[in-house]
């Protein structure tokens, strides 16, 4: 159980798509539950790939999660029950605004274990939203790699396959692919810049 006298921790799980971030987050949350800790998990509501009320990995592991439309929503859902929570998980954390950093620090000061998973880079290969700053202040950073779909080497990048102008925010196989440095080809066209201007939650 979290003791408000003892600082909590921030654990960041990062890497490209298909690197197992959600899988690792789900694994840690399940272990915390086995240890009889009280767990809450959140995800941005733009990530409704598999379910409204859970997070899911590409390997079909799931964990209950509350979808939120913004950081304010997350705060509003979490704070009334904060006394009953030991561990707070957030998936797809790259979609939140920079204000997630002070929120994370506040939760740590209150003795919470905070586990945040998200992409470190965009499909243009650039640092993604608040993730670099969260990595900087984290107690631990787990940087996972996927498998490059061209050569099988360790992949640190997310390659967008579609050149369509459609604003694809969240997708999986067929739209994005894991690639190593040698096989990653970022492109910047109108649809890319459109996505990069996506407002943070």
Active site residue 11: no
Q: Which one of 11, 23, 24, 92 is the catalytic residue?
A: 92
Residue 61 tokens, joined: 């592991």
CB 186 within 8 A of CB 156: no
Task: Pick between residue 8 and residue 15 the one whose CB is nearest to ligand ADP.
Answer: 15
- Per CB under 5 A, which region of 2-10, 21-29, 65-73, 103-111 contacts Mg ion? 21-29
Q: Which of 16, 18, 19, 22 binds Mg ion (CB under 5 A)?
A: 22
160 binds, among Mg ion, ligand ADP, none (CB under 5 to 8 A by kind): none
Q: How are the residues of the chain apportioned to helix, strand and coil, as percentages rounded to the nearest 5?
A: 25, 25, 45
CB 88 within 8 A of CB 112: yes
Task: Pick between residue 151 and residue 167 the one whose CB is nearest to ligand ADP.
Answer: 151
159 binds, among ligand ADP, Mg ion, none (CB under 5 to 8 A by kind): none
Task: Pick between residue 63 and residue 112 the one whose CB is nearest to Mg ion.
Answer: 63
Q: Which parts of 93-199 are beta strand (E)? A: 113-119, 140-143, 146-147, 154-155, 157-160, 176-179
| Distance, CA of 176 to CA of 16 (rounded, Å) | 10
Give the binding site for ligand ADP (CB under 6 A). Answer: 15, 17-23, 57-59, 146-147, 149, 178
End-to-end C-alpha distance for the chain, whole angstroms: 30
* SS3 assignment, position 93: helix
147 binds, among ligand ADP, Mg ion, none (CB under 5 to 8 A by kind): ligand ADP
Instruction: Calculate the alpha carbon distances from 163 to 10, 44, 167 in Å.
Output: 36, 25, 10
Task: Pick between residue 22 and residue 121 the one whose CB is nearest to ligand ADP.
Answer: 22
Annotated catalytic residues are 92
- Residues engaged in binding Mg ion (CB under 5 A): 21-22
């Amino acid at each position: 159980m979290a003791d408000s006298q003892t600082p909590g921790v921030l654990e960041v799980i990062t890497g490209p798509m298909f690197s197992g971030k959600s899988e690792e987050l789900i694994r840690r949350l399940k272990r915390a539950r086995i240890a009889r800790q009280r767990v809450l998990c959140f995800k941005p509501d733009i990530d409704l790939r598999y379910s409204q009320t859970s997070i899911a990995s590409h390997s079909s592991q799931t964990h209950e999660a509350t979808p939120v439309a913004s950081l304010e929503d997350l705060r509003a859902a979490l704070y009334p029950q904060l006394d009953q929570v030991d561990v707070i998980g957030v998936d797809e954390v790259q979609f939140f605004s920079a204000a997630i950093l002070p929120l994370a620090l506040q939760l740590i000061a209150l003795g919470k274990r905070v586990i945040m998973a998200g992409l470190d880079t965009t499909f243009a290969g650039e640092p993604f939203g608040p993730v670099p700053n969260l990595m900087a202040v984290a107690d631990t950073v787990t940087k996972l790699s996927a498998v490059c779909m061209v050569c099988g080497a360790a992949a640190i990048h997310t390659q967008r396959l579609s050149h369509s102008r459609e604003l694809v925010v969240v997708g999986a196989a067929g739209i994005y692919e894991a690639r190593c440095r040698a096989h990653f080809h970022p492109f910047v066209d109108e649809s890319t810049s459109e996505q990069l201007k996506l407002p943070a939650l």
